[in-house]
Amino acid sequence: MTLSDKIDSLMMQVEKPVRYVGGEFGSIMKKPEDVSVRYAFLFPDTYEVGMSHLGMKILYHTINKREDAWCERVFSPWVDMEQKMRENDIPLFTLESRTPVREFDLLGITLQYEMSYTNILSALDLAGLPLRAADREEGPFVVCGGPCAYNPEPLAPFVDFFVLGDGEVSTHQYIDVYKAWKASGRPRGDFLKMIVGIQGVYVPSFYDVSYNDDGTIRSVVPKPGTGAPALVMKALVNDLTAADYPERLIVPYGEVVHNRIMLEIFRGCTRGCRFCQAGMIYRPVRERSMERLLELAERLVNATGYDEISLMSLSSGDYSCLPDLAREMVQRFYEKRVAISLPSQRIDNFLADTLKETQKVKKTGLTLAPEAGTQRLRDVINKGVTEEDLMRSVRDAFEQGWSSVKLYFMLGLPTETDEDAMGIVDLAEKVRAVYFSVPKTQRAPGFRVTVSASVFVPKPFTPFQWCGQLGAEDVIRRQQMIRQAISRLKGVDFKYHAPDLSFLEATFALGDRRMGDVLERAYRLGCRFDGWNDQFRFDLWLKAFEETGVDPDFYATRAKALDERLPWDHLDAGVSKEFLLCEWAKAQRGELTHDCRKGCVGCGVKRYEGACV
Q: Contact positions toward another protein, by CB under 8 A? A: 4, 8, 11-12, 17-18, 21-25, 27, 251, 253-255, 301-307, 336-337, 360
Cβ closest to another protein, residue 23 vs residue 323: 23
**Secondary structure of residue 121 in the 3-state scheme:** helix
Cβ closest to another protein, residue 203 vs residue 301: 301
Question: DSSP for 5-59?
Answer: HHHHHHGGGSS-THHHH---BT-----GGG-SEEEEEEESS-HHHHTT-HHHHHH
Report the interhelical angle of 515-525 vs 500-509 (nearest 10°). 140
Cβ closest to another protein, residue 307 vs residue 474: 307
**Secondary structure of residue 189 in the 3-state scheme:** helix
Cβ closest to another protein, residue 253 vs residue 350: 253
Cβ closest to another protein, residue 209 vs residue 250: 250
Cβ closest to another protein, residue 23 vs residue 446: 23
The residues that bridge with 309 in the sheet, in sequence order, are 261, 340
CA torsion sign for 193, 196, 202, 204 is positive
Q: In this structure, are residues 273 and 49 in contact, taking their beta carbons and an 8 Å threshold?
A: no
Helix (H) or strand (E) holding 138, with range, is none
End-to-end CA distance of the chain: 59
Cβ closest to another protein, residue 332 vs residue 376: 332
Q: What angle do CA 514, 517, 521 make, to 5 degrees?
A: 150
Helix runs in 549-602, H state only: 552-555, 577-589
Helix (H) or strand (E) holding 330, with range, is helix 322-333
Cβ closest to another protein, residue 80 vs residue 190: 80
Cβ closest to another protein, residue 305 vs residue 446: 305
Cβ closest to another protein, residue 301 vs residue 544: 301
Shortest distance in whole angstroms from residue 27 CB to another protein: 8
Shortest distance in whole angstroms from residue 11 CB to another protein: 5
**Secondary structure of residue 422 in the 3-state scheme:** helix
Cβ closest to another protein, residue 307 vs residue 396: 307
Shortest distance in whole angstroms from residue 1 CB to another protein: 10
The span from the CA of 275 to the CA of 256, in Å, is: 29
The span from the CA of 545 to the CA of 522, in Å, is: 8
Shortest distance in whole angstroms from residue 416 CB to another protein: 43
Cβ-based neighbours of 569, under 8 Å, separated by 6 or more: 217, 220, 577
Burial class (CB in 10 A: 0-12, 13-18, 19+), 132: middle
Burial profile 463-497: b = 16 or more Cβ within 10 angstroms, e = fewer = bbbbbbbbebebbeebbeebeebbeebebbebebe
Shortest distance in whole angstroms from residue 80 CB to another protein: 15
Shortest distance in whole angstroms from residue 259 CB to another protein: 9
Shortest distance in whole angstroms from residue 595 CB to another protein: 38
Which contacts (CB < 8 Å, 24+ apart) does range 64-69 have? 64/28, 64/30, 65/244, 66/37, 66/172, 66/175, 67/34, 67/35, 68/35, 68/36, 68/37, 68/179, 69/35, 69/36, 69/37, 69/38, 69/39, 69/175
Dihedral angle at the C-alpha atoms of 267, 272, 277, 278, nearest 10 degrees?
-10
Shortest distance in whole angstroms from residue 97 CB to another protein: 11
Cβ closest to another protein, residue 253 vs residue 436: 253
Shortest distance in whole angstroms from residue 305 CB to another protein: 3
Cβ closest to another protein, residue 215 vs residue 305: 305
Tell me how far CA of residue 186 lies from CA of 173, 193, 323, 325, in angstroms. 18, 11, 55, 51
Shortest distance in whole angstroms from residue 375 CB to another protein: 41
What stretches of 297-429 adopt beta strand conformation (E)? 308-312, 339-341, 365-371, 404-411
Shortest distance in whole angstroms from residue 361 CB to another protein: 11
Shortest distance in whole angstroms from residue 304 CB to another protein: 7
Cα Rg of the chain, angstroms:
24
The span from the CA of 298 to the CA of 340, in Å, is: 13
Shortest distance in whole angstroms from residue 255 CB to another protein: 7
The span from the CA of 317 to the CA of 336, in Å, is: 25
Shortest distance in whole angstroms from residue 110 CB to another protein: 25
Shortest distance in whole angstroms from residue 252 CB to another protein: 8
The span from the CA of 110 to the CA of 143, in Å, is: 9
Helix runs in 187-314, H state only: 188-195, 277-281, 290-304
Q: In this structure, are residues 159 and 204 in contact, taking their beta carbons and an 8 Å threshold?
A: yes
